[in-house]
Amino acid sequence: MQTSPEYDVVAVGGGAAGLSGALALGRARRTVLVVDAGEPRNAAAGHVHNYLGREGTPPAELLEVGRAEVAAYGVQVRRGRVTTAMRSATGFGLALDDGTTVHARRLLVTTGLTDVLPEIAGLAERFGNDVLHCPYCHGWEVRDRAIGIVAGNAFALHGAGLWRQWSDDVTLFLNDRLALSPEDAERLAARGVAVVEGRVTEVVVEDDRLVGVRLESGEVVRREAVVAAPQFVANSDLLASLGLEPVAVEMGGVRFGYAVPSDPGGATTVPGVWLAGNVTDLRAQVISAAAGGLNAGAMINMDLIEEETAAAVATYRRKSA
Ligand SMILES: Cc1cc2nc3c(=O)[nH]c(=O)nc-3n(C[C@H](O)[C@H](O)[C@H](O)COP(=O)(O)OP(=O)(O)OC[C@H]3O[C@@H](n4cnc5c(N)ncnc54)[C@H](O)[C@@H]3O)c2cc1C
């Protein structure tokens, strides 16, 4: 017999996507629980940029405001990690890492993604500070600085052209990962992007300040910021237990990560399970993750209304027979 609480919807993950979905559902008078492990992807960044109306807010502050907003509509937010999800008679049973279980008629999974960084000494420690991946998140802050793009694959060519928009001092480190065609070399030269051959072995930091990158030859090339493209890998362990697996995502023929597919409303191939944010959309920024959450929340509400209407019609027919 089920003794643990049942919610209309449990959102697994309380970042921008999960909280935004919860806001829509709370305002739709649904019972909602958000379970959040408290490790949003951008935690290392000082500020959230390109979030209209809240430009430059620290990430933790934005989420704190979001939690207060959903709480005003009766949404419960719990710190914790959902470890397993299983189908139950009425929806899904979820086990949390504190040993408790909860039930949900519908699931909104917004667990985000993991940035898998290249294995270069000193690089991971500076990620989000002066090791960067996204010009829209950090480009303005390093405008006119000496920027180094460390190639991981052919995507770095695109990166070099992009970051050049923010600085005219951009160096592309080929890092033994990229071979330039004569046309590539010409395009880079035309834009004034310097090219350095050789493998990058270390991000060099002095007095807690990034000063450059070390090459295999031992030479240190001075730079003030380093750009490295991670592989974006959806946090999808929980979804695997429900039969949903990530698939490779490519841009311009180059793989840049793995995401779990969903339709434009966030629905998956598993009835009752919706996705939003980076777990399904690797490109989502905070504002678009929030938009995805709202969208999925509205779709979930519609699905619940359909179920409730079908049940009401069955009762109505029995009574009228
Ligand atoms: C360094 C850096 C800087 C960035 N700067 C910007 C910026 O300036 N502007 C911008 O728009 N975007 C920025 N981004 C991108 C931004 O982080 C993402 O767009 C955004 O976090 C996506 O929101 P989300 O809700 O999908 O995932 P997240 O914010 O990552 O939230 C997912 C949440 O789910 C939780 N979770 C995961 N698994 C479980 C589980 N099993 N049970 C319970 N909880 C779980 C996590 O702990 C986390 O709290 C930046 C990213 C990085 C890496």
Tokens 């207060």 sit on residue = 68
pLDDT given at position 157: 93
Per-residue pLDDT at 276 exceeds 50: yes
> Which residue segments constitute the domains of the chain, with CATH numbers given?
6-115+231-320 (3.50.50.60), 118-227 (3.50.50.60)
Mean pLDDT on 240-248: 96
What pTM was computed for the model? 0.96
Mean pLDDT on 144-156: 95
Of residues 73 and 252, more confidence is placed in 73
Contacts of 12 (CB under 8 A, 6+ apart): 18, 35, 82, 85, 94, 107, 108, 109, 110, 111, 238
Per-residue pLDDT at 34 exceeds 60: yes
pLDDT given at position 252: 81
The tokens describing 193, both together, are 């992007």
Question: Which of 41, 123, 125, 256, when mutated, tests ligand 1's pocket best, judged by the most ligand atoms within 8 Å of its CB?
Answer: 41
Residue 56 beta carbon below 6 angstroms from any ligand 1 atom: no
Average pLDDT value over all residues in the chain: 96
Residue 8 beta carbon below 6 angstroms from any ligand 1 atom: no
231 Cα: distance to centroid of ligand 1 (angstroms): 15
pLDDT given at position 148: 98
Q: Quick one: what percent of the chain has pLDDT higher than 90?
A: 94
Residue 230 beta carbon below 6 angstroms from any ligand 1 atom: no
Q: Quick one: what percent of the chain has pLDDT higher than 70?
A: 99
Residue pair 142/166 in contact (Cβ under 8 Å)? The answer is: yes
Residue 132 beta carbon below 6 angstroms from any ligand 1 atom: no
Residue 268 beta carbon below 6 angstroms from any ligand 1 atom: no
Residue 278 beta carbon below 6 angstroms from any ligand 1 atom: yes
Closest approach atom of ligand 1 to CA 44: 1
The tokens describing 307, both together, are 């179920």
pLDDT given at position 3: 61
Question: Which of 100, 280, 285, 288, when mutated, tests ligand 1's pocket best, judged by the most ligand atoms within 8 Å of its CB?
Answer: 285
Longest Cα pair distance anywhere in the chain, in angstroms? 87
pLDDT given at position 1: 45
Mean pLDDT on 304-313: 97
- The secondary structure of residue 48, as a DSSP letter, is B
Residue pair 228/131 in contact (Cβ under 8 Å)? The answer is: yes
285 Cα: distance to centroid of ligand 1 (angstroms): 9
